[in-house]
Structure 1
Amino acid sequence: MLRKLYDWVIAYSARPSAPWALGIVAFTESSIFPIPPDVLQVPMTLARPEKAWEYALIATLSSVAGGLVGYAIGALLYDSLGQWLINLYGYGAKVDTFRAAYAHYGHWVILLKGLTPIPFKLVTITSGFADYNLFWFVVLSVITRGARFFLLAALLRNFGPAARNFIEKRLGLVTLGLFAVVVLGLLAAAYVI
């Protein structure tokens, strides 16, 4: 089943709609969706390394645009939708701690959390809830999300054939590793923040 899914994503990346799917996943991951866009960006870039920079740009811009929706949820709808989303992901008890961190380390919170596997929606919703400066939120989101997606693109573009070979030979192990990173990110967000 895993091999079929991988082969489907690799084949799908050749379709004209693939960049749209990447954009939708990156957009929704920044506000409501739990799956990171890397899940699409990696196989798409492995299948079409010449489009690595295009995919990174799509992921970055879509993630920042979705981040603005997350920010709006936190700023305008926190008592209803925002709080429900935060609680859904198990971070309800951490919001006050996260909000207090903004008072002292706002720039660093956005820069560091945007690079990690900690769900970016936590950052975006809390930024709105904490009334963090919108201009700086956008600037820092572009920097941190751009760094994440363009670094990934550079690595895949330079080491893509070797990485693809490694992934295809050890697909189960790589999937388990990616799953572990996502789970560790969620645990870090729940217990470290």
Structure 2
Amino acid sequence: MFQKIIDFLENFGVWGLFIHSIADAIIFPVPAFFTQVSLSVVNPSSAIWLATAGFIGCLLGTPVGYYIGKVLGKSILYRFLKKEWIDSATNLFKKNGEAAILIGSFTPIPFKVFTILSGSLAFPLWKLIVYAAIGRAIKFYAIGLLFYYYGRAAKGMVHEVSTYIFLIGVPVLIIGLLIKRKYGKKKQEAESGQNVTLDSTPSE
């Protein structure tokens, strides 16, 4: 059934990918990655435009998935997706929500798991959109650039390149997050120390 839906969407080209990307961020269990690759194989010269449509569609669908999670909770995910995906994503979120979203942009776990979980676990929407934009941009445009420069031959490279992006890109992004968090903590401690000093200064 899902394959028939994907085949139907592919008939609409870039608009089909756009719709699939919106649905991918909301509830559709098959990632937009498959439609992007299929359409890029047919017309490699439009691969960058396809990546852009997929990226924008994903960002538009992200808040919708978020509010579904906020209203209905994560229980809705169990009706459509594998339990191990949901449990794995939940564990990631509990450890570090920001890293979970970045990692989720590259893993086989469907992205809607992270948008719905963000809502159900009250993760800030603006942070979800920012980190989703970073992760999904890398994923969509890496595939787009691959097909744009290598044409149909890129089809055989997609999975290998995706693996390299995951192994290199994700650690770099997470290190960046850790540095940002450490800097924020130091800044907070410095401000706290300043406030204590001011409070302890005797008034004349």
TM-score by length of 1: 0.68
Q: Which of 41, 46, 50 is 1:51 aligned to? A: 46
Counting aligned pairs with the same residue, the percent is 28
Query: Pick from 80, 83, 86: which aligns with 1:88?
Result: 80
Q: Which has the larger radius of gyration?
A: 2
Question: Which residue identity is paired with 1:77?
Answer: L
* 1:1-193 superposed matches below 5 A: 17-78=12-73, 82-91=74-83, 94-95=86-87, 98-99=89-90, 101-163=92-154
Structure 2: segments with no counterpart, 5+ residues: 160-204
Structure 1 equivalent of residue 184 of structure 2:
none
Tell me which amino acid in the other structure corresponds to 2:108: P
Q: Distance in 2 between matches of 1:21 and 1:72?
A: 24
User: 2:51 touches 2:141 (CA, 8 Å); kept in 1?
Assistant: yes
SS at match of 2:108: coil
Instruction: Figure out how many residues of one structure are paired with residues of the other and give that number.
Output: 154
CA distance in 1, matches of 2:75, 2:84: 7
Tell me the SS of whatever aligns to 1:35. coil
Greater CA drift, 40-49 or 124-133: 40-49
1:148 counterpart letter in structure 2: K
Equivalent pair of 2:45/2:151 in contact (CA under 8 Å): no
**Structure 1: stretches of 5+ with no match in the other structure:** 168-173, 178-193
Change in 2 beyond 3 A, CA 1:40/1:101: closer
Q: Which one-letter code corresponds to 1:41 in the other structure?
A: Q
RMSD: 3.0
